[in-house]
Amino acid sequence: MKKKLILGSTSPRRQELLKQVQIPFTVQAANIDESQISTDDPVKKVKELAMLKGRSISIKKKDEVILAADTVVSYNGKIFEKPKNKEEAFDMISALSGNEHEVFTGVLIRSFDDEVAFVERTVVEFWPLSDQEIEGYVSTDEPYDKAGAYGIQSIGAMFVKKINGDYYNVVGLPISQVVRKLRNFSVLPERNCT
């Protein structure tokens, strides 16, 4: 029996990725208090947040599957989440300038009788950036709803020198890995080419 996917996220990027691979879904925002997770370990943090989000949504029917995720950027052992203001965004991009950082996405997939959680890691290297480049970027609307204050899929792409790992993980969902795991939950693309 093919099952119905509920995305426990209002992220437009996660929604776009699911549409891209033609997996039908509905959206139900996870209503959680993220401050419950206080660890400084980025792997633990994204996994625990994904699990908290995914478990906060109740499964009402046996044919429902929940997908929840959380993404953070980590540099020198420090977690960069969404910047609160222009100064914080400037500081984050300045720190990443000319350096490598890691992007972690925790994912939880949950059905009535099963659950799987995993974390994907991608290494991103930025070009050295001038204060003027950073200032121009943080003056746009782009940095403020993104972990690490940049979007690799939009203007922030110009900062990226190279990546090692899953590009889509940096966007916010390691989609090829997710598709493979969703198969085990009987959630399939509309055109099953996987």
Number of C-alpha atoms within 13 angstroms, CB side, residue 18? Answer: 24
Closest among 129, 127, 120 to 167, alpha carbons compared: 120
Query: Which residues, listed in sequence order, are joined to residue 55 by a DSSP beta bridge?
Result: none
Q: How many whole angstroms separate alpha carbon 61 and alpha carbon 20?
A: 26
Inter-residue contact 52 to 32 (CB < 8 Å):
yes
Residues with catalytic function: 70
Closest among 175, 172, 173 to 189, alpha carbons compared: 175
Query: Which residues, listed in sequence order, are joined to residue 113 by a DSSP beta bridge?
Result: none
